[in-house]
Chain A
Amino acid sequence: MDIFTATNITKQFSNHKALDHVSVSVPEGSIFGLLGPNGAGKTTLIRIINQIINPDEGELLFYGKKLKPDDIAFIGYLPEERGLYKKMTVGEQAMYLAQLKGLSHHESLKRLNFWFEKFEIKSWWNRKVEELSKGMQQKIQFLVTIIHEPKLLIFDEPFSGFDPINANLLKDEILTQKEKGATIIFSTHNMASVEELCDHIALINHSKVVLSGLVREIKKTYKTNTFTISYQGIDENLQTFLPASFQVLEERVDPDLRHAIIKLPDTASPNDLLQPLLPRVTIHALQELIPGMNDIFIQAVTQQPSSTPTLN
């Protein structure tokens, strides 16, 4: 079931169209990546989901029902532009934000205690926010985002500004939340994190969705039936043993191994490649070249075929 569906969302700002009939559906329990170049409309869509701004057109469904103001109790949001009151103490502030999400005083205190212990930040409770480093502040921001145990978590560029250690902590925590049953939407430029985390993506470019679906299926459609093969045994060019429809794109020679990248005809399987080679060479490795999200992103955004893969 989809936890969240947006259909034909359009948002016009005074001088440009931020979203143009954008439709996305987020399956429950998934990690959904919202990708796109700067200014594509990701933040606008996220703000619409959070009901910070209203769309001009389109429909928003949360658990199959029309999204309503009360639903914010089930949503946790970490904006890209995030901060805290500098003069307030950490504890006061965390309590305030937790209660703003509808938790009782008692419940807020209990949950904050748990998280502060988990993150080993108990000693910060009475310190002012301005005394903390940026990374420390981000930990606080993260934990107040999830404090009310929302069903849907939305992170806008969560990894920007995090150092690698905190980014890792965040990544682990996102995965933990997913295991607990939360659905996560996050927008990012960081394609490595998409590969690592996302099951689903939607790619927005120039206010429109240009690509969406399951990550592995998207990858399948972007596959070019290209393999890299590592072998031993002959010195000649591999092409001499293969039919002309099998293109050897590149070859490299190491001291004891030879490598080649071969593009197969669309109908051919890797077995068809191996058959003519097996009698002549010893195969050490055969691997399909699956395009990275980075390539897919560039290809979808620039509308150009991806650069030919290389052996490095």
Chain B
Amino acid sequence: MTILGPLLMAATIIIPIYLATQNNEIKNVAILDETGIFIEKFKDSDNLKFHYLTSDIDSAKNTFHSSGDYALVYIPKTEVTLPTNAIIYAENTVNINLQSYVKNVMGRHIESLKLQARLHELQTDKKEPVPVDDILRSIKTSIDINTLKIGEDGQESKSYTEINMALGMFSGILIYFFIFMFGAQVMRGVIEEKTSRIVEVIISSVKPFQLMMGKIIGVGMVGLTQFLLWVVLTFGIVTIVISTISPKDINKTATEQMLKRNEAISPVAADALLAQESKPQEGANKVIEAIQSVDFPVMIGSFLFFFLVGYLMYAALFAAIGGAVDSESDTQQFMLPITIPLILSIIMAQVIIQDPDGAVAFWFSIIPLTSPVVMMIRIPFGVPYFQVILSMVLLLLGFLGATWLAAKIYRTGILMYGKKVSYKELWKWIRLRER
């Protein structure tokens, strides 16, 4: 274990780094710029490659699926103002890197165009100098990016990367905590029964397997109840607080007060400020829209599945550890192989959320030990059904396997007192034939 420990630890650090560097499959992105002002402004990077289309948007959308492109960035023509929005079409949710890159490039370019115009205006007017702050404020541009999923049949639906990320991360972390917290509770329970020596009294009445499963299911029920209670209470508190404080009012009064204080403010700046003011309202709408776009039945259904089966699988392994050791201080050497996949899936969450359809995400969401956390991170982004089903089947098999393994270790371990158990010993117990 002294050698295995560092090896495993090193693996948890190296594997994500390796996978992340391996993960530069190049994504082709088509740009359809009707305004013509962003030509050659998008630069290729390690994993993004841009090419420009000249066709119209309808034919671009029609050929999108056959083109093999990852995404299509569409900047529609504007008549009077400079273009400040873009639509990104993709098969699934658009990766956040691409979104922020497009936003950045467009924003910077538009701002520089505005600045040029403003400087030109100032030069020709030759009026008294304007504070730099005002100039900067007046050129400030916010780019609006809409992301749309475009299905095989050409059907379009809005997608919300940020919400999906938040939702995925949240449920993944929730599962991670749940497994750790209640898995460890199962282990402590088993150790308690062993050290208090009640276990032999009980297994003269019930089978060891029944005792083990009873403990796992019982703790699971406690966990689920606690979890549901949290959800209901959190929801209640949030609803009450939001209904008493309306964020719209706060923003409006703040802006108005600012305007009153700064009477000398230039009309352009005032315009910009008022434009900004409408933003929160818009943002709130967007959030509501985004929340409505989430497929809650699928989300909740798969969450409950991965939550419960993931817990059951890990709890069985935790119970086996509890059965094998004499006290909690002896658990360390056996804990490592169980906690590493869990920790690894949380470390990998960063990589997976950037690229929820990549190879790393796929494998981590299929392998049973990491799938409960990783699949839940992926689900909000939309995962092909066959992958979800494959992952669920494998997780169920993982659960059965873990239970079978745990039952064998547990059965022998709970009657073994005062013996320091090694991995070799565990292996013997597993192979032990029992009629």
Interface residue B203 (Cβ < 8 Å from any Cβ of A): yes
Contacts of A47 in B (CB 8 A): 415
Size category of the B interface is: 20 to 34
Inter-chain contact B201/A77, CB cutoff 8 Å: yes
Inter-chain contact B204/A141, CB cutoff 8 Å: no
Inter-chain contact A97/B435, CB cutoff 8 Å: no
Residues facing B in A74-106 (CB within 8 A) are: 75, 77-79, 81-86, 97, 100-101
The docked-state distance in angstroms from the alpha carbon of A14 to that of B192 is 26
Q: A14-B428, A47-B415, A85-B192 are in contact. Are A54 and B435 (CB under 8 A)?
A: yes
The one of B196, B208, B415 that contacts A83, using a Cβ cutoff of 8 Å: B196
Contacts of B435 in A (CB 8 A): 54, 56
- Nearest-CB distance from A161 to chain B (Å)? 11
Interface residue A165 (Cβ < 8 Å from any Cβ of B): no
The one of B198, B204, B208 that contacts A50, using a Cβ cutoff of 8 Å: B204
The docked-state distance in angstroms from the alpha carbon of A72 to that of B195 is 24
The one of B198, B415, B428, B434 that contacts A54, using a Cβ cutoff of 8 Å: B434
The docked-state distance in angstroms from the alpha carbon of A54 to that of B428 is 17
The one of B195, B196, B197, B200 that contacts A52, using a Cβ cutoff of 8 Å: B200
The docked-state distance in angstroms from the alpha carbon of A72 to that of B196 is 22
The one of B205, B208, B417, B434 that contacts A72, using a Cβ cutoff of 8 Å: B205
Inter-chain contact B197/A82, CB cutoff 8 Å: yes
Inter-chain contact B417/A81, CB cutoff 8 Å: yes
Inter-chain contact A100/B205, CB cutoff 8 Å: yes
Residues facing A in B22-67 (CB within 8 A) are: none
Give the most central of B201, B202, B434: most A CB within 10 Å: B201
Contacts of A100 in B (CB 8 A): 202, 205-206
Give the most central of A51, A85, A144: most B CB within 10 Å: A85
Contacts of A86 in B (CB 8 A): 192, 196
Closest to A76 in B: B204
Contacts of A56 in B (CB 8 A): 435
Contacts of B196 in A (CB 8 A): 83-86
The docked-state distance in angstroms from the alpha carbon of A95 to that of B119 is 88
Contacts of B434 in A (CB 8 A): 54
Q: Mark B328-357, 1 if CB is under 8 A from A, else 0.
A: 000000000000000000000000000000
Size category of the A interface is: 20 to 34
Contacts of A14 in B (CB 8 A): 428, 432
Contacts of A144 in B (CB 8 A): 201
Inter-chain contact B204/A75, CB cutoff 8 Å: yes
Q: A81-B197, A84-B198 are in contact. Are A101 and B417 (CB under 8 A)?
A: no
Inter-chain contact A85/B198, CB cutoff 8 Å: yes
Chain B residues engaging chain A, CB cutoff 8 angstroms: 192-193, 195-198, 200-208, 415, 417, 428, 432, 434-435
A-B contact pairs, 30 of them (CB 8 A): A14-B428, A47-B415, A50-B204, A51-B204, A52-B200, A52-B203, A52-B204, A52-B208, A52-B415, A53-B415, A54-B434, A54-B435, A56-B435, A69-B207, A72-B205, A75-B204, A79-B204, A81-B197, A81-B200, A82-B197, A82-B200, A82-B201, A83-B201, A85-B192, A86-B192, A86-B196, A97-B201, A100-B202, A100-B205, A141-B201
Chain A residues engaging chain B, CB cutoff 8 angstroms: 14, 47, 50-54, 56, 69, 72, 75, 77-79, 81-86, 97, 100-101, 141, 144
